[in-house]
Structure 1
Amino acid sequence: MDTQPAWRTASHQGLREVNADAVAAANGVVALADGVGDTKTAAHAALSAATAAAGVPAVAGPQAALSAAHEAITEGDCVLVVAQPVADGGYRIGWVGDVRAYAWDGDELRQLTKDHTLAQYFRDHGGDVTPRMEHLVTTSVHTAAANRYGVTETSATSLVLTTDGVHKTLTHEAMTTILRHSSCPAEELVHAAHAAGAKDNATAAVLTGAPSPATPLLPTVPLQLAA
């Protein structure tokens, strides 16, 4: 039986002019970026940042990956999450902005990252939150200093990475149900987000199985969804 782990990704641009989400992988490291804005410049920034972050060896740590992403952007901006395999199992996660990483154990979905948004800041400080605040990020690849990077670790061997077009449209319960029952969870998460009314780019990347430097990233599936 083939037990090699594999990533599966899916993406759709929704009602935007361009798809400014990007996924990149190298040597077991996977990065997902969401460009700020609906322009080719935003899309290029996301691709440049994700590619640079994924290219940093896992032993260097997520801060190094985010710093490499920062250096790679010459114009435009994006938010980003990077997952680096740990030698004895699990992942180190680094992020800026409102992209997310989740641990998945086959039954329960656990959010590993905490959104760097104005809404989350006000929640943490007991303030009132308006819907617009959910989309105002407080860190990004271009603007965040290293001491503002989010960093965490997990022993999980299965991860889910999403842009906000997925997780700000679907409830946590809906995402969990999809993961429990779908044989193509990345595609189903994106399909479900747009069926639920997502207008933004929506991208998901799902890893099942233990990380390995030899693990290939399967091509992102550009979904063609009915209007």
Structure 2
Amino acid sequence: MRELPHWHTASAQGPREHNADAVGAYAAAGGAGIVFALADGVGDHPNAARAARTAASAAARTPVEQGAVAAVLAAQRAVLQLGGAGDCVLVVAVQTGDGYGIAWVGDARAYAWDGYTVRQVTKDHTLAQYFRDHDQPVTPRMEHVVTTSVRTANAHEIGTATVTAGGLVLTSDGVHKTLSGPTMLDILGMPDRAATELVRTAISLGGSDNATAIVVDPPGADLATEKFRVAA
């Protein structure tokens, strides 16, 4: 059985009627590792929150051996089974032999975190990023228009990346679209409460969305971490 990392999470509703963010984490007894998932519902509606909770739970329950893309596809099947119109974006991190496999749709992010530096490893699936990639002007609204989601993405549209060593930070856009890179790095310097401080600072700086973070401590870090209930 692989040694499980220390991790902690936090979430705040912000100036919304509903907190449509959700997290999941699950390690099967005697299994090969742990799966982390963070979902962000599309819109401020109960259906969005339900979709995010469903996606995060289904993704986290995917066997580690199947990998991160399989976890996103499991989330998609679960959300489609809900019927209705609820949708979300999602980022998944699956523990591997030498780090983590990452998969995502939409603008939820993963960062590599080694205790000294933080590096974004996902690339937002947004209209703004699409226009940047094609050297076209970007408007502020484009930052909030996603081009993939759990409900709509085809398998070949799921983004993938790897983190070969160290820890992780997973965030909803209420965190990373409010906090600058240097601010995030400063907060991660106090990792025993980094997830809580990422969320609190994003809201206090005027963030207009729900804010959620999962921080997975780098291996060997001498840290006291907060326990959190795994996905149901």
What's the TM-score once normalised by structure 1's chain length?
0.90
* Alignment RMSD: 1.8
3-state secondary structure, aligned to 1:47: helix
Percentage identity across paired residues of the two chains = 56
Aligned partner letter, 1:157 = G
Q: 2:171 aligned with 1:125, yes or no?
A: no
Aligned partner letter, 1:198 = G
Q: CA deviation at 1:37?
A: 0.9
Summarize deviations over 1:11-40 as a string: whole Å, max 9, x none.
Answer: 000010010000011111010000011111
Q: Which residue of 2 aligns with 1:26?
A: 26
Q: 2:145 aligned with 1:136, yes or no?
A: yes
Q: CA deviation at 1:62?
A: 1.3
Q: CA deviation at 1:181?
A: 3.7
The separation in 1 between residues aligned to 2:76 and 2:14, in whole angstroms, is 27
The separation in 2 between residues aligned to 1:193 and 1:82, in whole angstroms, is 22
The separation in 1 between residues aligned to 2:210 and 2:113, in whole angstroms, is 23
3-state secondary structure, aligned to 1:219: coil
3-state secondary structure, aligned to 1:65: helix
Q: Which residue of 1 aligns with 2:114?
A: 105
Q: Which residue of 1 aligns with 2:95?
A: 85
The separation in 2 between residues aligned to 1:6 and 1:18, in whole angstroms, is 29
Counterparts in 2 of 1:46-61, with a 5 A limit? 46-61=52-67
Equivalent pair of 1:4/1:209 in contact (CA under 8 Å)? no
Counterparts in 2 of 1:141-160, with a 5 A limit? 141-160=150-169
Which of 25, 35, 38 aligns to 2:41? It is 35
Q: CA deviation at 1:210?
A: 4.0
Aligned partner letter, 2:12 = H
Q: Which residue of 1 aligns with 2:15?
A: 15
Structure 2 unmatched ranges of 5 or more:
28-33
The separation in 2 between residues aligned to 1:114 and 1:160, in whole angstroms, is 14
Q: CA deviation at 1:182?
A: 5.0
Q: CA deviation at 1:59?
A: 1.2
Q: CA deviation at 1:157?
A: 2.8
Q: Which residue of 1 aligns with 2:30?
A: none
Which of 68, 71, 74 aligns to 2:74? It is 68
Aligned partner letter, 1:55 = R
Q: Which residue of 2 aligns with 1:206?
A: 215
Q: Which runs of 4+ in 1 moved over 6 A?
A: none
The separation in 1 between residues aligned to 2:139 and 2:103, in whole angstroms, is 27
3-state secondary structure, aligned to 2:69: helix
The separation in 2 between residues aligned to 1:11 and 1:145, in whole angstroms, is 29
Q: 2:204 aligned with 1:184, yes or no?
A: no
| Distance change >3 Å, CA 151–CA 4, structure 1 → 2 | closer
The separation in 2 between residues aligned to 1:31 and 1:20, in whole angstroms, is 14
Structure 1 unmatched ranges of 5 or more:
221-227
Equivalent pair of 1:69/1:141 in contact (CA under 8 Å)? yes
Work out which structure has the larger RCO, using CA pairs closer than 8 Å and 6 or more positions apart in sequence: 1
What's the TM-score once normalised by structure 2's chain length?
0.88
